[in-house]
Structure 1
Amino acid sequence: MPSSIHVSRRRFLRQTGLGLFALAGVPAWAQAMTMPTGPKLSPNKASPAFVPDVEIELVARQSSVAILPGQPTRVQQYVARLVKGPEGTLTNLPGSYLGPVMRLSKGQKVRIHFRNELSEPTIAHWHGMHVPALMDGHPMYAMDPGETFVYEFEVLNRASLNIYHPHPHEMTGRQVYHGLAGGILVNDEEEAALGLPAGEYEIPLVLQDRRFDADNQLVYVRHMHERMMGFHGDRILVNGRPDFAVEVASRAYRLRIMNGSNARIYKLGWDDGTPLTVIGTDGGLLEAPEVKPYVMLAPGERLDVWADFSGRGVGSQMVMRSLPFSGALPMMARRMMGEMMHSSLPLGSDYPLFTVRVTRRVSESPSLPRRLAKLSRYTLADTANPDKPLPLEISEGPMSMLLNRRPYAHDDLQPFERIPLGSIQLLEIFHGHGRSGEGMEHGGGPGMGMHGGMGMMGHRGMGMMGGHGGGMEGGMGMMMSMAHPIHLHGQSFQVVSRTVSGAVLEDYASVREGFVDSGWKDTVLTMPGERIRLIKPFQDFKGLFMYHCHNLEHEDMGMMREFSIE
């Protein structure tokens, strides 16, 4: 009898979702997932036929950096050396554990010798860059310690801010958290003709949250709930530094902002209510500047902000804050976790990010261009599947974060994940809460609810909560739904529409004005109850390209799939 009771209780916890919290105390050593990661492939070597314009040696290694007063913090760090290329290709951020900023130009041929000096496997992904599949940093190319992978590619991107970071399966979150990340600034002639702020007037700002112990060492994922919700630190670092401040002149600047956090979502806004003037997103410049009261920025997203301090007196200052918002965490977490979720820096609260101080007056400043860039706009008529979007279904459950109802497994392709080379596809991201492991039809759509278990409780015990008629709005599915930044490797995409309905509307009102969807994107924040349609080209390169949640703990749990471009 006691055994039977125990099994029944465990089954109840898993089916109701309470298991998410009952298992929160599982120790870190027991949290490793066991999903197949695919074959171990030999590292790529340099091709004699490839003649680079830029050649870089990049190393991932153990290091220590003084971040807080007192004892140095042990980190993992990218260190680079320019072998060939223009002066200024590499710029180190002063006193930071972050990798150097790489400045490249459209049309350049780039070779990067990446050596692993860590004590564990790693591989580098060029987030936002349009490169061949072999060069994209797929987990199957993760290198053992001591190995070197040679990347060779031509820069096809338009001017934009991109990221390089590790992508070994089940280890990405931990390696990024411990310091492995850097920025890639691509320039092109269209951008150069605008005369935008450059040099000291163009400031990269990498936002990250971290948690330190009493010895100044990084603390990461102590409980399972920190993996399920994504890890949130209790201290903000900018460019790897605490209490970050920038000294500026009374003129216009260009702030290149990157969310380098594992899971934290920011709602950016100036403390004095000054609107943000956005000139670009992940994939580069917008057609024209957009003025926003605030801007949402999820992990993996980037923002290009025109910040004009003209007319502000010497000694004045502005503080960029993350403003209050709600709805990003599951209702179940908010209602039931109580002290488990206690933090001095709760997600969605109001806190400072960095300070800008005007320290000198100048008489001249560039003017904000009315037109920025010429963008080619896709329509449904351009897509190969206007009536049958490719599904990217989000589902959450106890110990389970999935895309298209299946955990990541190398080469576990569903029919709709095979994409013809050269095609332009309509995709739809939505919360479906389908049963783990089930296949799904291409374009499954709104009617796909849960089956059995909590699906029955959703209909009988708690009732529907409005919306599309049977997906995430039903019962416990709604209670477990949370925000996910969805990242697609390869070419950038264009957001066509966002729709939201049901019980989430009040929460959604706190974020809805902060989306900048008019430009090119590679990562899009999907809120609970939201459906996002986007158009993405699949051009130039065949092979396997990942798509996944950029909440890095979710990615490591298997919330990741592949497209095969054929």
Structure 2
Amino acid sequence: MTHSLNYGRRQFLQYSAFGAAAALFPELLLANPKSARSSPTPSFKPDVEIEFSAREVFVPILNNGSKTKVQKYFAKLLKGPENTVQSIEDNYLGPTLTLAKGQKVRIYFDNNLSEHSIMHWHGMHVPQKSDGHPMYSIEPGERFVYEYEVLNNAGTSFYHSHAHELTGSQVYFGLAGLLKVTDEEEKALGLPTGEYDLPLVIQDKRFNSHSQLQYVHGMHDRMMGFLGDTILVNGKPNAEFSVKSRAYRFRVLNGSSSRIYKLGWDDGTPLTAIGSALSLLEKPETKPYIMLGPSERFDLWLDFSGRPVGSKLVLYSLPFSGAMPPMFERMHRGRGRQGGMGMMGRMDMMTSDLGQGDKFPIATFNVTEKVSDSPKLPVQLARLKRLTEKDVDNADSPLPIAITERHMRPLVNGRPFSLDEVMEIEKVKLGSIKKIKIYHSHAEHQQHEMSSQSNNHDMEGMGHDSMGGRGSGMGMMDEMGGGMMGGMMMAMAHPIHLHGQQFQVLSRKEGHVNREDYETVRHGFIDVGRKDTVLVMPGEEVEIIKPFQDFKGLFLYHCHNLEHEDLGMMRNFYVY
């Protein structure tokens, strides 16, 4: 795999990032980066030990007899229950891990790629050193050791690469896998298990005529987010499931770089969710459809009871609008109808034929066997402590996460990713519970918004232009930032992911949404349960409550549109 960052620059970025963090926060990091990365802790006694490696291999993906070059995780269980690691043959997806709350886990990661990498345990509440921060990236031939206790309740998570400026490409080429956590409360519910507890990992890809994966094509793909034209489920196209006439638990993960899915049945049957990413729900939630942003997960209760053998249901991504800039959506709808579109036409040709918000099938479910027994949907699921504004210490001055779209570069809080600065609003005391407001800060209002927030939060440096002016090589983009291109970059949907402890959604306010577009998604949000990612539509304001407990350190928050993350739409909270 060839990527734009050369080896020397990657190594410089990796070690300078670690050095910057060590200089700023010496009490959090070991002085020797190599020992911080590769030395097991003698006093840590693991219940589970796994040896992971990442390397390039060829696997069959398309049903045409060819093999596709991918990057793949392999795992070997050294210690622990037999069902801890379940490898998937002839597939680019990493092994499925099953961990239990309270287990102590040690994982060895060997990087056998030709570029630097690191593994992130997405959604897991773990110490900074085991979170997979890009500052810990290891070079080819090196090893990293993770050690953590499973503090999460039962739920569905996943793991993936988090290498600096290579997250999008490495995840796209295969470096990801499902992670399940179980606990005693979940076991007591009698939910579907074994063959009736199945993954449904949805991703979109592009293939060339030789069945090889193609990733971003220029800046346009990066700015709008990569969209593929082939939908894969569990690593395979044209997914079909043979099911019995009973209830199943399907663990759905949006593993795409930037595509949003609006899940719904072809016959209009509602969908029922029993889990939201990091926990079971308190009670089942039934929706006409479910919106699923990149990295979001939901556990679905799919009940085929009463359906005759031979019947078929198709799960679709249903049509919706408003997730992309208006001009971009108009271009997609009008593709092929006009000629001579100049620059805009050339950019349009680079996009996928499968647009954001188009309707397409995801998977087909064929009822192949009639059975008489089936578990009943529980009325009550998990017992969750619901956090309210009474639990936070900043109810009247929420920490801002301002989605910043300007100068053809997506940012958060007006700043690019950096390890040599932490704004005052990013310093959080250990043990505190914070209210956080996520909103869109449009270019034409940005200076006013940032100024107002600065008065409330001492947001030092947020007003500075990180692009460096026209002399920085961004001249054309700067000139166009408030015009055509700047307008295109406004009003995008962003999946905002926060590392560390899980949060709860307090409110979702419509703000300045486009009413017609918003009607196509309004009824699909599930904002209960514990979450690590929330999809924020254009014009929306989402308030969340997030605890910062147990661990000090640097914990990322960023857009999980992976192309945006690699462009610098990412910052750190410093928990001290």
Opposite residue 495 of structure 2, the aligned amino acid is P
Question: CA 1:436–1:109 in 2, change beyond 3 Å: closer, same or farther?
Answer: farther
Query: Of 546, 549, 552, which aligns to 1:539?
Result: 549
Partner in structure 2 of residue 432 of structure 1? 441
TM-superposed CA distance for 1:358, in Å, is 0.8
Quick one: distance in 2 between partners of 1:182 and 1:86?
19
Is the CA contact (8 Å cut-off) linking 1:128 and 1:490 kept in structure 2?
yes
Question: CA 1:422–1:450 in 2, change beyond 3 Å: closer, same or farther?
Answer: closer
Query: Of 403, 408, 413, which aligns to 2:417?
Result: 408
Question: CA 1:48–1:31 in 2, change beyond 3 Å: closer, same or farther?
Answer: closer
Residues 343-492 of structure 1: pairs in structure 2 closer than 5 A? 343-433=352-442, 434=446, 441=454, 480-492=490-502
Quick one: distance in 2 between partners of 1:367 and 1:159?
19
Q: Which structure has the highest helix share of the two?
A: 2
Question: CA 1:65–1:209 in 2, change beyond 3 Å: closer, same or farther?
Answer: same
Q: Deviations over 1:193-213 (max 9, x none)?
A: 000000000011110000000
Q: Any idea what SS the aligned residue of 1:427 has?
A: strand
Partner in structure 2 of residue 553 of structure 1? 563
Residues 273-312 of structure 1: pairs in structure 2 closer than 5 A? 273-312=268-307
Q: Deviations over 1:371-403 (max 9, x none)?
A: 001110111111010000000000112331000
Quick one: distance in 1 between partners of 2:4 and 2:286?
47
Quick one: distance in 2 between partners of 1:411 and 1:266?
36
Verify: 1:512 aligned to 2:522, yes or no.
Answer: yes
Quick one: distance in 2 between partners of 1:149 and 1:64?
25
Quick one: distance in 1 between partners of 2:55 and 2:351?
34
Is the CA contact (8 Å cut-off) linking 1:405 and 1:436 kept in structure 2?
no
After TM superposition, the score normalised by the length of structure 1 is: 0.87
Q: Percent identity?
A: 56
Is the CA contact (8 Å cut-off) linking 1:390 and 1:442 kept in structure 2?
no
What RMSD, in angstroms, separates the aligned Cα atoms of the two structures? 2.6
Q: Any idea what SS the aligned residue of 2:214 has?
A: coil
Opposite residue 410 of structure 1, the aligned amino acid is L
Is the CA contact (8 Å cut-off) linking 2:93 and 2:177 kept in structure 1?
yes
Opposite residue 304 of structure 1, the aligned amino acid is D
Quick one: distance in 1 between partners of 2:330 and 2:200?
34
Q: Any idea what SS the aligned residue of 2:500 has?
A: coil
Partner in structure 2 of residue 494 of structure 1? 504
Q: Deviations over 1:525-547 (max 9, x none)?
A: 00000000000000000000000
Partner in structure 1 of residue 55 of structure 2? 61
After TM superposition, the score normalised by the length of structure 2 is: 0.86
Quick one: distance in 2 between partners of 1:394 and 1:253?
38
TM-superposed CA distance for 1:317, in Å, is 1.1
Partner in structure 1 of residue 24 of structure 2? none
Question: CA 1:168–1:438 in 2, change beyond 3 Å: closer, same or farther?
Answer: farther
Verify: 1:160 aligned to 2:155, yes or no.
Answer: yes
Q: Deviations over 1:274-306 (max 9, x none)?
A: 100111111111100011000000111001100
Q: Deviations over 1:319-366 (max 9, x none)?
A: 110000001111232346453365331110100001111111111000
Is the CA contact (8 Å cut-off) linking 1:59 and 1:80 kept in structure 2?
yes
Quick one: distance in 1 between partners of 2:463 and 2:263?
35
Q: Any idea what SS the aligned residue of 1:375 has?
A: coil
Quick one: distance in 1 between partners of 2:489 and 2:219?
18
Question: CA 1:502–1:565 in 2, change beyond 3 Å: closer, same or farther?
Answer: closer
Verify: 1:324 aligned to 2:324, yes or no.
Answer: no
Question: CA 1:234–1:444 in 2, change beyond 3 Å: closer, same or farther?
Answer: farther
Quick one: distance in 2 between partners of 1:492 and 1:423?
13
Quick one: distance in 1 between partners of 2:313 and 2:159?
30
Equivalenced residues, count: 516
Q: Any idea what SS the aligned residue of 1:296 has?
A: strand
Is the CA contact (8 Å cut-off) linking 1:320 and 1:353 kept in structure 2?
yes
Q: Deviations over 1:503-562 (max 9, x none)?
A: 512111110100000111100000000000000000000000000000000000000000
Partner in structure 2 of residue 116 of structure 1? 111
Question: CA 1:362–1:174 in 2, change beyond 3 Å: closer, same or farther?
Answer: same
TM-superposed CA distance for 1:31, in Å, is 12
TM-superposed CA distance for 1:223, in Å, is 1.9
Quick one: distance in 2 between partners of 1:203 and 1:118?
30
TM-superposed CA distance for 1:479, in Å, is 6.5
Is the CA contact (8 Å cut-off) linking 1:102 and 1:184 kept in structure 2?
yes
Opposite residue 121 of structure 1, the aligned amino acid is H
